[in-house]
Amino acid sequence: SQQGEEDPQALSIQEGENATMNCSYKTSINNLQWYRQNSGRGLVHLILIRSNEREKHSGRLRVTLDTSKKSSSLLITASRAADTASYFCAYTGTASKLTFGTGTRLQVTL
């Protein structure tokens, strides 16, 4: 399977803490993206990192990419209860297909 793997599958933290999610993939990629999904609703794009980039920031989000290890991580700093959601990495090698990872369910408690 070309499916990416994410770990942990589930993560529970307290508000204010940082959350780190990891993604591993199996193919060469052009870019890697992270999406958020609230309770089975639509996927919302968070951040995109290209294969020639190693780190990218957007607000409280920090993404790293290590193409030699075929892995990426998403860090959410100073988490809030509203960050509770599932987070998916998705990667592409062609213009035609984005392959999603298995997802991490994040629970942020007060």
Partner 1 sequence: EPEVTQTPSHQVTQMGQEVILRCVPISNHLYFYWYRQILGQKVEFLVSFYNNEISEKSEIFDDQFSVERPDGSNFTLKIRSTKLEDSAMYFCASSYHGTDEKLFFGSGTQLSVL
Q: Which residues pair with 23 in a beta bridge?
A: 6, 72
Least separation in angstroms between residue 55's CB and partner 1 is: 18
Nearest residue to 103 via CA among 32, 31, 5: 5
85 within 8 A of 40, measured Cβ to Cβ: no
Question: How many Å from the N-terminal Cα to the C-terminal Cα in the chain?
Answer: 38
> Would you say 79 or 99 has its CB closer to partner 1?
99
> Would you say 14 or 28 has its CB closer to partner 1?
28
Least separation in angstroms between residue 74's CB and partner 1 is: 15
Per CB under 8 A, residues contacting partner 1 are 3, 30-31, 33, 35, 40-45, 48, 88, 90, 92, 94-103
